[in-house]
Structures are given as structure tokens and as C-alpha cells.
Amino acid sequence: MSNASIELKVPSVGESVTEVEIAEWLKNEGDLVRKDENILVLETDKATLEVPSPIAGRLTKVLKAKGDRVKVDKVVAVIEAGESGAATAQPAEEKKSAEAPAKKKSEETAAPSPTAAKITAPKIVAAKSPDIQAAEKTVEPATEPVEPSTSKASAPAASAPVIAPVESDRAEEIVPMSLLRRKIAEHLVAAQHNAALLTTFNEIDMSAVMALRKDNQERFQERYQIKLGFMSFFIKATVEALKEIPQLNAEIRGSNIVYRNYHDIAIAIGGGRGLVVPVLRNAGRMSFAEIEQGIAEFARRVKENKIKPDELQGGTFTITNGGVYGSLLSTPLVNPPQSGVLGMHSIQDRPVAINGQVVIRPMMYVALTYDHRLVDGREAVQFLKRVKELVESPVRILIEI
């Protein structure tokens, strides 16, 4: 290998990650690349990330294909610096265009003339049934072209083979499960097998929050360049409820219970390759604007596959919002080693009884799944009731009462 070439290795993507999967090559072998231009996408059991080129040059060798699993620090490609790689590695399109005229000329030279083709081409006939072959043995070959006979006495025609119709709507496609999807599956199964999970439900009148958002949305956006959403209210309410029910912010570690005096709230966000759960560190110390900006930034980078593995680790409690997909009610799963997860759902106008009168209010079902080994049912119900109280009266969040 010349001094002008460098090996592109799988970078370290987190202390617990030892293997990655090649998710996609953004450049082909022979392509020119700029320094810091992304050339491939790696997928770990936690996230996907793009790998940039460390130098400007040409991608001369691709050593691992899409779908291959590779250990961290192993070589996946070779990049030759500058333009010197052009002589040894043409881009695929240039090779194709250069080879096309030569191929065409070769075909024209090798192709026989129409007359020669007529003389030398082998005669291809369809296989005949035995009764037709027997009849042909008794007939002298004709020296002149003879029109096909329409007589009923002629030999019977060979029966056409019966071909079963292809049912295109019953086709199957086999696709390997991605590393991320496999890890999600393992994690969810482990959650159900290793914890005693129960779920409690409640419903929240969203009228006050919706009115507050409507009254302050324009000023909020002008000041912070971000919309005021529902999630910031729920995160604030959740942190306050966790302070009162610390078991839901704790974890079981061996034979010990680890209580935390900080609140790192994980937010479930759907991406193209699966659900990822980045963590808002010290969410209890964040303002409404900081929470909304943090969530928006996570959502953008999840969509672009730029979430870092360390941003998905260490959450103390999780919030997931199935309502964005239209879910009315569901049972979320705890993300081990956490002991609780809050599920938000769609807001629907429903009749409710208030002060003896039936009125229509925008209502949301909420669900808390918890690890019964650590959290009792009474505590779970108190937690969800506290979240309900704070969201229905958001001024309590602001003055912490």
C-alpha cells in the first residue's frame, strides 16, 4: 500500500459496543470523496451513525459489503489521497461509458451477416408427442413449401403444457433483521422475562394545557424559535411526581436498590430503522424552551441517523407518546434497568361529568407500566394521579405546588 493511501477503520462508538453492521455505503468504489464527507452508515445495537472520510481523495477499495458485521477498529475501506487514485480506480459510471463503445464494436465484428446467419443457424424445434413422431415417419419430406393442412384427418397437435398462474399477491420477501432491530427485540423480551410488570391507567383533561398553549404560543415561538408542545408539560409533571415517588426513578442492582437524586428522562422517538430513546440529562433543571429544543434536536438527528450511542444510555425514567401515531390506549414496556415508563396517547373530545353536568372535554388516556418488584400498586397510582393533577392545572408546575 502506498504512503498516499489510508485505511478506513470502524470507529469506537461507545464503550459497550464491540461490533457494528454496515447499513449503507454512501459512496461506491472508485468515487471521489471530500474530506469530512460521509461515505458509509454504520448500525449498532443502539443507533445508526455516519462515518466521514478523514481525507480528500478516491475510495479505491471497499472491503465490507452492506449487511456485513464488523468488529470495532477493523478496516472496511481504503482511500487514496488526492487525485492519484484516478489511474487505478475509475468511477463505475466512467468505466461503463468507456467500455460501452468497445463492447458495441466487438459485437458488430463478431456478428455474422444475415445470409450467413440463415445458413448456419441451428434449427430449433419444439418437442413432439410420440403419435406425431410416428406419423412423420410414414410421410416423405416435401421438396416444396407446403401450406399447413386444415384437414381434420391430420395428426393431432401436441397438447400445450398447463402452467399454473403466478399469484403475485402471495409473494414473500426475506430481509435480514438489522442489528438494531435484533437488539430491540432482545431488550423487549428481556424486559418481560426479568421484571414483574404491571400497568395502571388514568385519563387527563387537556383543556387547561391547550388553552395555555394557545394564549402563549405566538410569544413563545418569537422568543425561542420553537413551538410549545405537550411533551414539555408532561416532562415537568413527571419530574415533580418522581420526586414524590422516588421508587419509579430507581433501579434494582443485584440485591440493592439504587435511588437517584437526578432525573434523566428518556424520550421515545420513532426513526426509519426503529424506535430509539435518547435521554434528556437533568430534565428537572431544564426550562420549557430547553426541553422543547432538546426534543426537536433529537427528532432531527434521529431522522438523519446522527444520534450518538452515549445519548441513548443512562435514562432513569421513560416517556413515550403513542398518540402521535393515533394510539388511543396501550401498555408501554419498561426499558430495563428502569422501573417505570409513562405512555401518552391521542387527545379526543369525550363526554365527561363535571360538577354534575355532562360536558365535552379534550381527554387523554395515560398509562404507567412499572416494575412491581420495586414499586407497589399504591405508589404507581399515586404517581399517575400526581401527573394528572399537574397537567390539568399547569400553574402548579410553574410554582411547584
- pLDDT score, position 96: 47
Question: Is the domain of 320 the same as that of 212?
Answer: yes
44 pLDDT band, cuts 50/70/90, is confident
Q: Which residue, of 57, 86, 115, is where some domain finishes?
A: 86
Task: Clarify whether residues 75 and 197 are in a common domain.
Answer: no
Instruction: Answer whether residue 230 is part of any domain.
Output: yes
Question: Given a cut of 50, is residue 172 above it in pLDDT?
Answer: yes
Instruction: Please indicate, yes or no, if residue 199 is contained in any of the structural domains.
Output: yes
CA distance 245 to 148: 95
Mean pLDDT of the region 358-364: 97
Q: 161 in a domain, yes or no? A: no
Classify residue 278: in a domain, yes or no. Answer: yes
Res 120 pLDDT > 50: no
Q: Which of 36, 68, 131, 372 is catalytic?
A: 372
Q: Is the pLDDT of residue 122 over 50?
A: no
What residue numbers bound the domain in which 269 lies? 179-399
Residue listed under C-alpha cell 487514485: 85
Same domain, 74 and 219: no
Does a structural domain hold residue 115? Answer: no
Per-residue pLDDT tens digits for 48-70? 788 999 999 999 999 999 889 89
Q: Is residue 109 part of a domain?
A: no
45 given a catalytic annotation: no
- What is the per-residue pLDDT for 23? 86
Distance CA 271, CA 8 (A): 27
pLDDT band at 242 (very low <50, low <70, confident <90, very high): very high
Check 68, 73, 215, 376 and give the catalytic one. Answer: 376
Distance (Å, rounded) from C-alpha 269 to C-alpha 292? Answer: 14
Instruction: Find which of 81-85, 177-181, 319-323 is predicted with most confidence, using mean pLDDT.
Output: 319-323
Q: What's the CATH number where 299 sits?
A: 3.30.559.10
* Mean per-residue pLDDT, 235-255: 96
**Is pLDDT of 1 > 90?**
no
Mean pLDDT check: name the lowest of 176-190, 237-251, 266-280, 362-376. Answer: 176-190
Q: Are residues 47 and 189 in the same domain?
A: no
Q: Quick check: is 221 in a domain?
A: yes
Q: Is the pLDDT of residue 95 over 50?
A: no
Q: What is the DSSP string of 261-323?
A: SS--EEE-EEETTEEE--EETTGGG--HHHHHHHHHHHHHHHHTT---GGGGS--SEEEEEGG
Please tell me the pTM assigned to this model: 0.66
- pLDDT for residue 304 is more than 60: yes
Dump pLDDT digits (tens) for 124-137: 444 444 464 444 44
- Pair (74, 190) in one structural domain: no
Give yes or no: 372 in active site: yes
* CATH code assigned at 69: 2.40.50.100
What is the amino acid identity at position 335?
A: N
> How many domains are contained in the chain?
2
Domain boundary among 86, 118, 143: 86
User: Is 174 part of any domain?
Assistant: no
pLDDT of 212 above 60: yes
- Last residue within a domain, chosen from 32, 57, 86: 86
